[in-house]
Every structure is written in C-alpha cells, then in structure tokens.
C-alpha cells in the first residue's frame, strides 16, 4: 500500500508557474488601464463637456433633434439631418432699412413731453432692443407704475410712427434671401419689440404677407433684448429645438441673446462695423451673401460649453506647488 508516485518536472512547473503567470497578467492589465486613463486625461482637459458619454454601450451620443415619438423613420432621419432648421429674423436693420436717429428722436420727444431729463447717448445705446416699458422702468427710471408705463410706451410708439411716415423698404439682398428660404421650405419667424399692429402694417406695405410662419411682437413677451425670451418663444412656436434655430440680427445684444438661448446667430453689419460683431457665428453685410449650405453648416455645429465650476477647480489645482514625493509600486514583482 505504500506506493510512491513520481511527479514529472513538467507537471511540477505547470502547477507552480500558472498562479505566477496569472498574477503577472492581472498586474500588467492594471498598469495598462492606468496608463490609458492618464493619457486620456491629458488629451481631454478638465472643465470641458464634449457631449459624449464615454461609458461603454452609450455610443453614438444622443441626437437632440431626434424625436422617437415619430412613427415615420424618414421624418426622424430628416430631423436628425442638418437640413432641419428654422430661421428667426429681426425686422429693422435686417430685413428693412433702419434709421437709428428716429428712435433717438422719439425718446427725446417723449422726455420733453413728460418733463423728464433728456436721456444721454450711452443710455440710449443701452436700451436698444428693449421693450419700451422695460426701458422706461429699468434704465430710464421714469416710472414703475404699470398704467404709466403702458401709456408712455404707447406714446413713444406713436411718436416713432409719425417720424417714420409709414415708409418701409427692403435692405439690399433681403427679399432675395427670403425668397430662397421659402423656396427651400425653411420655416421663418419674425421677432420685434414693436406692437403687432405696427408690424403687420409694415409687412403689408412691403408686400410679404404669408412669408412668416410665426410673428412675435411686444405683446407676446415680458422682456426684450438682451433677454432671450423672444427667440425662445419663436422657436417654441416653430416647434424647433434652440440648437437648430438661426437668428439674424444686427447688434451685439442680439448675438448675446441668441447664444444665451443656445442658438446660432448671423449678424448683419447694417449699423455696426463688421469687426464689432465678431462674437456672431457669421457676419455679413447683406443677406444675399448667404446660401442654404451656409445655414446647414451652422445647424450642423454642436456648441461646446465650458463648465465654470470645474474650470475654476482645475485652475486652483494647477496653482498648488508640485509634490516632491515619489510613489513607487513595488507589488509588480
């Protein structure tokens, strides 16, 4: 019964080396993951949101324009393409000729009628694009009574209309660009801080009734520029997401409001030089310089937003003195 078994050297080495080989592979894989994570942090600085979830199984990223509720796959494909976009236009200085002196003269005349001090030039520049009631209450500080604000705002519009004389004409290239959008079936909205009656009368004068799918006027919103309320409401009525709306304006207030609403902005250099409108996504002198391809390229760009808190934390970490300690991983061998 006392049998002795001899174990060959190959079997003995297999039983001994297999655990060592497995441990070595596990440690090597861990080092590889750490190196990959280190290089990824170098390539992607902290504080920037790339809009892509790096976790496995979540690629490609979600398309904001997609609507799973649509039963027709062709409609869903059309929405996700860059051709699905809406255009939001301002009125004066973009589609029709604008005379800024008339606006200033209307405010000065109103101040004289109300016995107020004439507003200085810097204050007149600040209230550009605001609603009349908003400008009177928040900037000019003439009154905060709702009844007085409504009366003053209406009277200011009456003065402006009298100075305007009911004469409107297209800016060069504006009518051709509108016809181009209508031909390509791009939905068009019009926003303005003018009263609806005045705006509809002006539209009838130049003969473009029925061009605009949506018209947003002073009666529809509480605040004017630089608040993005007008543009957000127009996009809601057009049934487009903000990222697929392109705003056409002629001031930095418009650019600021459009970007706050996550929309693209094309600035028309009608009253400001082109170099002052550099914050816009595109700057042109006349609208007929644009093509539908330009608009599709704008709608195809996904904005990269910075996260201030993370960026500040990262800068704080960068200000720390470098560490002199050296970490040594001695469990590899």
* Tens-place pLDDT, residues 293-331: 999 999 876 544 434 445 555 555 555 555 554 444 444
Residue pLDDT, tens place only, 91-124 = 999 999 988 899 999 999 999 999 999 999 999 9
- Residues 204-222: what's their mean pLDDT? 93
3-state secondary structure of 97: coil
Question: Which structure tokens are listed for 226?
Answer: 């630089």
Give residue 98's Cα distance to chain centre: 26
Q: How far apart are the first and last CA of the chain?
A: 43
208-231 burial: b if 16+ Cβ within 10 Å, else e? beebbbbbbbbeebebbbbbbbbb
Confidence (pLDDT) at 302: 57
What pLDDT digit, counting tens, does each position of 125-144 carry? 999 989 999 999 999 999 99
pTM, entire model? 0.71
At the top level of CATH, the class of 82-96+169-300 is alpha beta
The CA distance from 107 to 113, in Å, is 10
**CA distances (Å), origin 192, targets 101, 165, 216, 311:** 18, 19, 6, 37
Domain ranges of the chain: 82-96+169-300, 100-164
Query: What mean pLDDT is predicted for residues 66-80?
Result: 73
């Amino acid at each position: 019964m006392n049998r002795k078994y001899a174990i060959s050297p190959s079997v003995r080495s297999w039983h001994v080396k297999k655990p060592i080989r497995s441990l070595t592979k596990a440690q090597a894989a861990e080092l590889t993951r750490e190196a990959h994570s280190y290089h990824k942090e170098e390539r992607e600085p902290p504080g920037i949101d790339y809009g892509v979830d790096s976790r496995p199984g979540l690629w490609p990223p979600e398309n904001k324009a997609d609507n799973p509720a649509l039963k027709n796959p062709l409609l869903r494909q059309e929405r996700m393409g860059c051709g699905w976009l809406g255009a939001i236009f301002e009125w004066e200085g973009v589609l029709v000729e604008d005379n800024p002196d008339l606006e200033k003269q209307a405010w000065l005349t109103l101040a004289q009628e109300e016995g107020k001090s004439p507003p200085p030039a810097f204050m007149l520049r600040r209230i550009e694009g605001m609603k009349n009631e908003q400008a009177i209450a928040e900037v000019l500080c003439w009154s905060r009574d709702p009844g007085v604000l409504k009366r003053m705002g209406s009277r200011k519009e009456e003065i402006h209309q009298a100075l305007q004389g009911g004469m409107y004409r297209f800016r060069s290239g504006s009518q051709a660009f509108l016809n181009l959008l209508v031909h390509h079936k791009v939905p068009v909205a019009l926003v303005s801080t003018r009263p609806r009656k005045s705006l509809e009368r002006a539209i009838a004068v130049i003969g473009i009734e029925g061009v605009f799918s949506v018209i947003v006027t002073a009666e529809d919103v509480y605040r004017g520029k630089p608040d993005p309320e007008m543009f957000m409401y127009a996009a809601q009525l057009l049934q487009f997401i903000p990222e697929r709306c392109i705003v056409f304006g002629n001031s930095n207030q418009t650019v600021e409001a459009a970007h706050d609403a996550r929309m693209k902005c094309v600035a028309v250099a009608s009253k400001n030089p082109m170099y002052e409108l550099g914050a816009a996504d595109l700057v042109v002198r006349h609208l007929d310089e644009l093509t539908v391809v330009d608009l599709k390229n704008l709608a195809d760009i996904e904005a990269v937003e910075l996260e201030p808190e993370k960026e500040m934390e990262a800068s704080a970490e960068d200000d720390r003195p470098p560490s002199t300690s050296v970490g040594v991983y001695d469990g590899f061998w």
